[in-house]
Amino acid sequence: MALVEGCKHSLEISIPVDQVESETSRVVDDIQKRARLQGFRPGKAPANLIRKQFAGDIRQKVLENLIPVHLQKQLDAENLSVVGTPDISDVHFHDFAPLTFKATFEVFPEVVLGEYTNVEVPYQDPEVSDEDIAKRIDEIREQKAQYINIDPRPVVDGDFAVVSLESLAGVEGEPVKTDEMVLEIGAKDTFEAFTENLRGLTPGDEKDFEVVYPEDYGSDKLAGKTVKFHALLKGLRRKELPELDDEFAQELGDYRTVAELNEAIRKAIFSQRQFEAQQEAKNQIMDKLVDAHDFPVPEAFVERQIKTRVEQRLRAMAEQGMDPRKLQLDWDKVKESQRDKAIREVKASLLLGKVSERESIHATRDEVDSEVEKVARQQRKPVAAVHMDFEKDGTLGRIASHIQTDKTLNFLFERARKTAES
């Protein structure tokens, strides 16, 4: 008898008594050959004594031999694809009686594809203005700027002050100390306390002052603290930007003129914005497909996706300098808060797989090999060695799956009905 609830199934299976007895006899014979009982030569102890002395081992071995085989036979007969490991319960195993048990498990859902092409999505190719190009050029010039020492005089806004700093109070443990810090006086990224206390000083001057750090400051040692510093103004510098001319363009790469550099930057900005715009459109397409398809998803898949989302959040916290262990978060609530999004992501993945299957979209060997070669170049390792490692640890399969997903999303985007954004 089978019970079905969403993706959860249960089967009640009965194994005929003759098959149970046959397997039991086979297990007893096997143990009899190896058993060493006092008063009997190896292999000569009577079967009834073996059954009595090794009753627990015999029972366990018979269950291990019969249950998986008969469960799989029933799964094949009902064409059920199991997710995870079945839970076996209600086992009844008695002499001269059928062996019965209940198996509870989840199965892959049946996804019936509706319409998945011609999905309406707002999209327009991005535009790149002259102002966008000029801004990117300015950023490059800033990166290439030189800082020139200037003769001693009182500090004014716009100067780059070279300062030696040491904390005097407000910091636990070792003091904060730096022999050379460069601060742009009056800049929006410079704490006002530094600007106010350094403005007007002349190289060689020293001063003590306090700086109040915000609670969300990137360093745990300084966040939320009021720190008293001793500062020594060591020198002054001015920023000198490179001239925007053909020579500057040639130093940046294979460009002969500023016009060629501008065109290359225009293409780079366009490519970046186009990628971001298409990613957003693809996300909207998948949202619409998920909304249009109603089917249950295995809890095992949802739990795995929740785990992935939580791990991503933990990594993001760590990258921002936060220790999740100190935040006193209720992780059960955090996991539950991720549940709805996880369900939608699982549904999206299953739908993409179904579209890939329907449209025969797969990763080719050349595409996978190309990705492996990229990694090999980055790691400066032989391609064959990287390929072998990836084959062993399953990375090849993950690469192929990622390529297939990208190709399927591109297919959906290409066949979507793009409308002008309002």
Q: Are residues 304 and 413 in the same domain?
A: yes
Per-residue pLDDT band for 336 (boundaries 50, 70, 90) equals confident
Query: In this predicted structure, what is the pLDDT of residue 422?
Result: 52
- The reply to whether 252 falls in a domain is no
| Beta carbons within 10 angstroms of residue 102's beta carbon | 17
Closest to 139 (Cα-Cα) out of 268, 276, 279, 277: 268
- Say if residue 206's pLDDT is above 50: yes
Q: Are residues 194 and 289 in the same domain?
A: no
Region 337-341: what's the mean pLDDT?
A: 89
Give the number of residues written for the chain: 422
Written as six digits, the tokens of 368 are 């996978």
Query: In this predicted structure, what is the pLDDT of residue 165?
Result: 94
Per-residue pLDDT band for 209 (boundaries 50, 70, 90) equals very high
The proportion of the chain whose per-residue pLDDT surpasses 70, expressed as a percent, equals 96
- The reply to whether 343 falls in a domain is yes
Q: The CATH number of the domain where 402 resides is what?
A: 1.10.3120.10
| Distant-in-sequence, close-in-space partners of 290: CB < 8 Å, separation ≥ 6 | 344, 347, 348, 351
Range of the domain at 8: 2-107
Q: Are residues 236 and 277 in the same domain?
A: no
Residue 416 CA, chain-centre distance (Å), reads 28
pTM over 0.85: no
Region 343-357: what's the mean pLDDT?
A: 95
Region 254-260: what's the mean pLDDT?
A: 94
- The reply to whether 225 falls in a domain is yes
Per-residue pLDDT band for 32 (boundaries 50, 70, 90) equals confident
- The reply to whether 255 falls in a domain is no
Query: In this predicted structure, what is the pLDDT of residue 95?
Result: 81
Tens of pLDDT, residue by residue over 357-373, are 999 999 999 999 999 99
Tens of pLDDT, residue by residue over 134-158, are 999 999 999 999 999 999 999 999 9
329, amino acid identity = L
Q: Are residues 280 and 234 in the same domain?
A: no
Q: Are residues 299 and 402 in the same domain?
A: yes
Q: Are residues 101 and 204 in the same domain?
A: no
Q: How far is the C-alpha of 235 from the C-alpha of 197, rounded, in Å?
A: 15
Domains of the chain: total: 3
Q: How far, CA to CA in Å, does 301 sit from each of 10, 76, 106, 213?
A: 18, 22, 10, 44
Tens of pLDDT, residue by residue over 258-290, are 999 999 999 999 999 999 999 999 999 999 999
Region 241-259: what's the mean pLDDT?
A: 94
- Say if residue 246's pLDDT is above 90: yes
Q: Are residues 94 and 187 in the same domain?
A: no
The proportion of the chain whose per-residue pLDDT surpasses 90, expressed as a percent, equals 69
Region 316-320: what's the mean pLDDT?
A: 77
